[in-house]
Amino acid sequence: MSNEEEFQAPQWVQDDANPEIKKELIQLTQKQKYFLIGTLCTVIPLCLVIGWYEFGRAKEGHWRAWVYTFEWPFFAAVSVYMYRRIMRGDIPRIPRPD
C-alpha cells in the first residue's frame, strides 16, 4: 500500500472539499417547518431560563455554575444557527464509515 492511499480522505470528505459538486438542498414540508419553529420557541426560552437559574447559583458560590451560566445561552445560539441552516435546506450529513 502506498503512502498516498493510506492517508487518503474518505469519499464524503472529498465530496465536501470539491466546490464543483453541488449539494442537494432539501425542501422541508410546511409541517416540518412548523415543528422546527415550535421547537425553537420552546428551546430558546428554556435555555435562557436555565442559564439565569445557573447564574443565581453561581452568585451563591457554586463555582461550577459559572460554566453553566454561559453554556445554556450558547446552546440557545446553536439552536438558532441550526434552525437557520435547516430552513435553508442545508441538512447536516452524518458521515458513515466506509
Taking 90 as the threshold, does the pLDDT of residue 57 lie above it?
Answer: yes
Angle subtended by helix axes 65-87 and 30-59, to nearest 10: 170
Higher-confidence residue: 32 or 20? 32
The answer to whether residue 24 sits within a structural domain is no
65: left (phi over 0), alpha (psi -120 to 50) or beta: alpha
Residues in CB range of 78: below 8 A, 6 or more apart:
none
* Domain of residue 83, residue span: 43-89
Residues 57 and 93: beta-carbon distance below 8 Å: no
Output b/e per residue, 9-20; b: 16+ Cβ within 10 A: eeeeeeeeeeee
Terminal Cα distance for the chain, rounded: 18
The answer to whether residue 64 sits within a structural domain is yes
**Mean pLDDT (the chain, rounded):** 83
pLDDT of residue 90: 77
Taking 70 as the threshold, does the pLDDT of residue 89 lie above it?
Answer: yes
The answer to whether residue 68 sits within a structural domain is yes
Taking 70 as the threshold, does the pLDDT of residue 64 lie above it?
Answer: yes
The answer to whether residue 78 sits within a structural domain is yes
**What is the model's pTM?**
0.68
Number of structural domains, the chain? 1
